[in-house]
Amino acid sequence: MKKLMYLAAALLVAACGPKVGKTTRVTGQFGDEVPETVRILVGESVDTTVAVTDGRFSVEIPTNLQELAYVQTDFTPVSFIADGSTITVDPIEGTAVSSNKKGPQSRYAAYDAWMRTFMTEYRSKMAGFGDDEDAAAEYFEQILPDFNEYQKETVRANGDNILGVMALMQLMDDDPEELKSLLTSFSDEMRANPMVAQMIGALSSMSATAVGAPFVDFAVIQDPENAEASTVKLSDYVGNGKYVLVDFWASWCGPCREEMPTLKKVYETYAGDRFDMLSIAVADELEDTLKAAEEIGIPWNQIVNAQRVPLELYGIDAIPHIILFGPDGTILKRGLRGAAIGEAVAEALGE
């Protein structure tokens, strides 16, 4: 996997291709099953229906590097970047090939292929570990550096188009200085992208809640129909004399659920007079959170229905996000995953 990563990264940083044109030609051909039309979408700027004649379609659309474009048919939608080249779409295979072999669309296709290969191997490996949580955690820690490095290289090579934003969203590295460096890769146009603007805001919040800073309190109304009785604060659990491990999660988040066995093991090992844990459900439906928590069997304290409040305050752009607070509420560690969770707690407790 490592050799594959560096090869792909090398391709991503290859020299730029021809000057980007103002329009992008999108063509495609069907086999036996031929629809009457296809639909082309590019954010809110393009939504057009194109006739299919003799199994083929062709259309010119404005070049747009800031948003993903889609060809919608009766088959799975095909995504691409309208990068000013001629893009040939195969609706059956789900591919989009650009005439510019070094342009944004070609890089996006390479990135998509890398991610698919990576995730297929990852899921296969994780399934093979079965109930061996330690082996699964060790494998995750082993592959994480390569995964993050690939995302970083992709961001640096695509600061002028949506692929850079996509890679940034996949990155599992919460180092503020690293993120600040990556954000300087983006062009002025891409900095106006809502996701990039949100990341810039999150980085400011992350700097204010970096390791060594005091915790930032917030209140959550867990049940809107009983606001007064259901309102809780982070300070009800943090800053009261115990080390507290806080897991920001959601019921719909697969990686969050995958982390639960590790969290349970940490809780069973260390919970007591000096250590406690808290789960905070964010960006989730209340009913879904309660159902998932019951299915998982979460034995530690919980705050539900927090929505986006803690995400914005702590600069969290991806979950699960796990923070270890000291007895006085000082942030000791953040962005913990896998085996690093238990190691951080053991270190803090001196065990």
Domains defined along the chain, listed by start = 18-98 (2.60.40), 106-208 (no CATH), 219-349 (3.40.30.10)
Residue 257 reports pLDDT greater than 80: yes
pLDDT of residue 178: 84
Q: Is 253 a catalytic residue?
A: yes
* Residues 6 or more apart in contact with residue 209 via CB below 8 angstroms: 215, 216, 313, 314, 315, 331, 334
* Residues 6 or more apart in contact with residue 247 via CB below 8 angstroms: 256, 259, 263, 277, 278, 279, 280, 320, 321, 322
Give ∠ CA 173-179-181 in degrees, rounded to 5.
135
Q: What span, in angstroms and rounded, lies between the C-alpha atoms of 246 and 269? A: 16
Phi, psi of 260, rounded to the nearest 5 degrees? -60, -45
Give the 3-state secondary structure of residue 174. Answer: coil
pLDDT of residue 19: 56
Q: Which of 162-166, 191-195, 342-346 has the lowest mean pLDDT?
A: 191-195
**DSSP symbol at 21:** P
**CA distances (Å), origin 321, targets 5, 56, 184, 302:** 25, 47, 24, 15
| Burial label, 248 (beta-carbon count in 10 A; 0-12, 13-18, 19+) | buried
Mean pLDDT on 188-201: 82
Q: Is 16 a catalytic residue?
A: no
- Percent of the chain beyond pLDDT 90? 71
Active-site residue (options: 256, 263, 313, 323): 256
pLDDT of residue 2: 43
Instruction: Cite the DSSP H helix spans in the chain.
Output: 2-12, 104-129, 133-157, 162-170, 176-183, 188-191, 194-208, 227-230, 254-270, 286-296, 309-313, 339-349
pLDDT of residue 127: 92
Q: What span, in angstroms and rounded, lies between the C-alpha atoms of 230 and 306? A: 12
Q: What span, in angstroms and rounded, lies between the C-alpha atoms of 278 and 237? A: 8
Residue 3 reports pLDDT greater than 80: no
Q: What span, in angstroms and rounded, lies between the C-alpha atoms of 122 and 138? A: 13
Active-site residue (options: 5, 52, 78, 253): 253
Phi, psi of 30, rounded to the nearest 5 degrees? -105, 165
Q: Which residues of 139-168 are buried (b: 16+ CB within 10 A; e: fewer)?
A: bbeebeebbbbbbbbbbbbbbbbbbbbbbb
Mean pLDDT on 158-180: 87
Percent helix, percent strand, percent coil in the chain, to nearest 5: 45, 25, 35
Which of the pair, 56 or 20, is modelled with greater confidence? 56
Mean pLDDT on 67-83: 92
Q: Which of 29-33, 214-218, 232-236, 240-244 has the lowest mean pLDDT?
A: 29-33
Which of the pair, 192 or 63, is modelled with greater confidence? 63
pLDDT of residue 54: 92
pLDDT of residue 174: 64
| Mean pLDDT, the chain, integer | 89
